Chain A
Amino acid sequence: MNLMVLSCQKAGQLIEKKQVKNLTILEKLQLNVHLRICERCADYEKQSVLIDAMLKKHPKQALNGQEIRLSDEIKQRIQKELDKRIKK
């Protein structure tokens, strides 16, 4: 089997791996070759990166639109408890 031939399924895994940790030199090569000839995987990569960027920008969307801000009231409550013990 040609070392340079990567299936689309495997390419997708490497696209995700790349965003978490470094690819090996062989993996990098394989992926680059694949992405140059496979438009669909190139689209997959664009979409995957975009989804992450959207979630980073609006983390609220990740949690059912739940407000993920701690209310000031709760923050003050926790801070007070913490301060009490720090001063001891």
Chain B
Amino acid sequence: MLSKTYNLHPEDWVNKYGEKLYTYALLKSKNKEQAEDWVQETFLAGLGAKDSFRGDSSELTWLYSILKNKIAQFYRKASTKQEVPLNGLFADQENDLSLFFNEEGTWKEHSSPRDWQLDPAMALENKELGQILNHCLDNLKPGQKEIIVLKLMEGLGSKFICKDLGISDTNYWIQIHRAKLQLRACIEKKWLTKQGKYE
């Protein structure tokens, strides 16, 4: 009997995907040990469910969905524990947009982007700017940081993220835009202040 194999390589999982899954797990729990356990459970469950892999997503995406289910299960069981909220980001939508745009959707003078006077290649290496980014990420509303970070995680894909956040495809980049508006305003203020160029 020929059984089709879909190129799963469990022996390589830890090295190839360990850190990626761990990053996602850390977004959902502040507790390192908890995140480590979830990663281990995910690999073991994946091995056990090997035969159900149909190859219609990548190995990594498949593992992500197992991890996501594990985490959901955990928070269902431990109803006293609160999942890091990823969907608290829809309140006050009009309000925070009106900080930046007037009724026609044009930038308000005092909060429109300014030139950071940075060469992008240099900016990547700039430690000060890195620290500012760090600080400003932490000042975002719950969920806003996650939506920015999740987008950049390899192998997740927007379909997965929208499901995770319980938002529609269209809402996805609208929410990214909102989060970015806050983030870039914070960075700009701190960065230009440091350069003595913020009036």
Residues of A in contact (CB 8 Å), total 49
Asked whether, in the complex, the Cβ of B14 is within 8 Å of the Cβ of A78, the reply is yes
Asked whether, in the complex, the Cβ of B23 is within 8 Å of the Cβ of A59, the reply is yes
Cα separation A15 to B173 with both chains bound (whole Å): 9
Asked whether, in the complex, the Cβ of B113 is within 8 Å of the Cβ of A70, the reply is no
Cα separation A16 to B181 with both chains bound (whole Å): 11
* B13 at interface by CB-CB < 8 Å: yes
Chain A positions within 8 Å of B148 at CB level: 51, 55, 62
Chain A positions within 8 Å of B40 at CB level: 77-78, 81
B143-185 Cβ-contact flags toward A at 8 Å (1 or 0)? 0010011011000001000000000000011101100110110
Please pick, from B18, B48, B181, the residue contacting A12 in the complex, using a CB distance under 8 A. Answer: B181
Asked whether, in the complex, the Cβ of B115 is within 8 Å of the Cβ of A43, the reply is yes
In chain B, positions 115-133 with a C-beta closer than 8 Å to chain A are: 115-116, 118, 120, 123-124, 129-130, 133
Residues of B in contact (CB 8 Å), total 58
In chain B, positions 1-29 with a C-beta closer than 8 Å to chain A are: 10-11, 13-15, 18-19, 22-23, 26-27
State the Cβ distance, B62 to closest chain A Cβ, in Å. 16
* A29 at interface by CB-CB < 8 Å: no
Chain B positions within 8 Å of A52 at CB level: 151-152
* B64 at interface by CB-CB < 8 Å: no
State the Cβ distance, B118 to closest chain A Cβ, in Å. 7
Contacts A9-B105, A54-B133 given; indicate if A62 touches B149 (C-beta within 8 A).
yes
Cα separation A21 to B149 with both chains bound (whole Å): 17
Secondary structure at the A interface, as helix, strand, loop or mixed, is helix
* B66 at interface by CB-CB < 8 Å: no
Please pick, from A8, A56, A75, the residue contacting B106 in the complex, using a CB distance under 8 A. Answer: A8
Residues of B participating in the A interface, judged by any CB pair closer than 8 Å: 10-11, 13-15, 18-19, 22-23, 26-27, 32, 36, 39-40, 43-44, 47-48, 97, 100-101, 104-107, 112-116, 118, 120, 123-124, 129-130, 133-134, 137-138, 145, 148-149, 151-152, 158, 172-174, 176-177, 180-181, 183-184, 187-188
Contacts A55-B149, A57-B124, A78-B39 given; indicate if A10 touches B44 (C-beta within 8 A).
no
A44-76 Cβ-contact flags toward B at 8 Å (1 or 0)? 101111111111111101111110111000110
Asked whether, in the complex, the Cβ of B47 is within 8 Å of the Cβ of A85, the reply is yes
State the Cβ distance, A14 to closest chain B Cβ, in Å. 8
State the Cβ distance, B176 to closest chain A Cβ, in Å. 5
Asked whether, in the complex, the Cβ of A68 is within 8 Å of the Cβ of B26, the reply is yes
Asked whether, in the complex, the Cβ of A9 is within 8 Å of the Cβ of B133, the reply is no
Asked whether, in the complex, the Cβ of B158 is within 8 Å of the Cβ of A70, the reply is no
State the Cβ distance, B167 to closest chain A Cβ, in Å. 13
